[in-house]
Amino acid sequence: MSREIKGLVFDCDGTLADTMPLHWRAWQIVTQRHELHFPMDRFYSLGGVPSRDIVKLLATEQGRTLDYLAVAHEKEQVYLPLMAQVRPIEAVAAIARANYGKIPMAVASGGTQPIITAVLEQLNLRHLFGAIVTNEMIQNQKPAPDIFLEAMRTLTWACKPSARRAWTPWTCAYCSDRGEGTGGGFHRPANSAKPAALPVPAQSRHCTPPALRLR
């Protein structure tokens, strides 16, 4: 990458943490319990979308009346015992560890604050990040860029005032297994507020970390 990067924002599920197969197991149990059709390819296509929004979408499409929040809570309760099996995606975690103390870093996740914090703590990664931004903290969910922009805003105000004017989405890179919120690549329209992306291949335990030119 040719530009100077002044901050890093990471997704969590499927990027820092190899959680997606465990989330899928939890979804299988809950959707079967409520007789909702939810195939695996649809699950992966909705990666990053909050559970309550997934339940609402499925119920609406299938003509069902469900308490979206209650069913999403059920899914979290099924997932909790599986968290002990979570492992880091080492190629991505290595980027975070290598840049700890060098540039500000945050996590921006469509999950909930208690779950994402618990996953990061289990993997001994929580201390690396100055901010953890989750779906409760923003109005427009992924694939909108709001959650990444909020993470960058939080990191910006943690900096010294003299450094804040150097912060823009274009100087903060986002690392995810998906392209949501970024336009899906390294380039963006000149008038866009979307962050630059560092794509990480799905199921990428052994991906090669992108080369970063840092401050």
For the cut 90, the answer to whether the pLDDT of residue 6 exceeds it is no
Give the integer Cα–Cα distance in Å for 204 and 194.
24
Instruction: Identify the band that residue 136 occupies on the pLDDT scale cut at 50, 70 and 90.
Output: confident
Mean of per-residue pLDDT scores for the chain: 77
For the cut 90, the answer to whether the pLDDT of residue 57 exceeds it is yes
Whether this prediction's pTM lies above 0.85 is answered by no
* CA distance readout (Å), 209 to 66, 90, 92, 96, 172: 42, 10, 7, 10, 16
Contact present, 87 and 18 (Cβ < 8 Å)? yes
Give the integer Cα–Cα distance in Å for 117 and 126.
7
Contact present, 207 and 200 (Cβ < 8 Å)? yes
Q: Which residue has the higher pLDDT, 204 or 103?
A: 103
- Element at 93 (helix H, strand E): helix 90-99
Low-confidence winner among 20-29, 153-162, 193-202 (lowest mean pLDDT): 193-202
* Domain layout of the chain by residue ranges: 7-18+87-199, 20-84
81-100, pLDDT tens digit by residue? 999 999 999 989 999 999 99
For the cut 90, the answer to whether the pLDDT of residue 55 exceeds it is yes
3-state helix, strand, coil in the chain (%, to 5): 45, 10, 45
Cβ count near 57 (within 10 Å) = 15
Of 1.10.150, 3.30.70, 1.10.287, 1.10.3470, the CATH number of 20-84 is 1.10.150
- The CATH H-level (homologous superfamily) assignment of domain 7-18+87-199 is HAD superfamily/HAD-like (3.40.50.1000)
Give the integer Cα–Cα distance in Å for 50 and 9.
18
Residue appearing with tokens 């703590």: 121
For the cut 60, the answer to whether the pLDDT of residue 144 exceeds it is yes
Instruction: Identify the band that residue 200 occupies on the pLDDT scale cut at 50, 70 and 90.
Output: very low
Displacement of CA 93 from its chain's centroid (Å)? 13
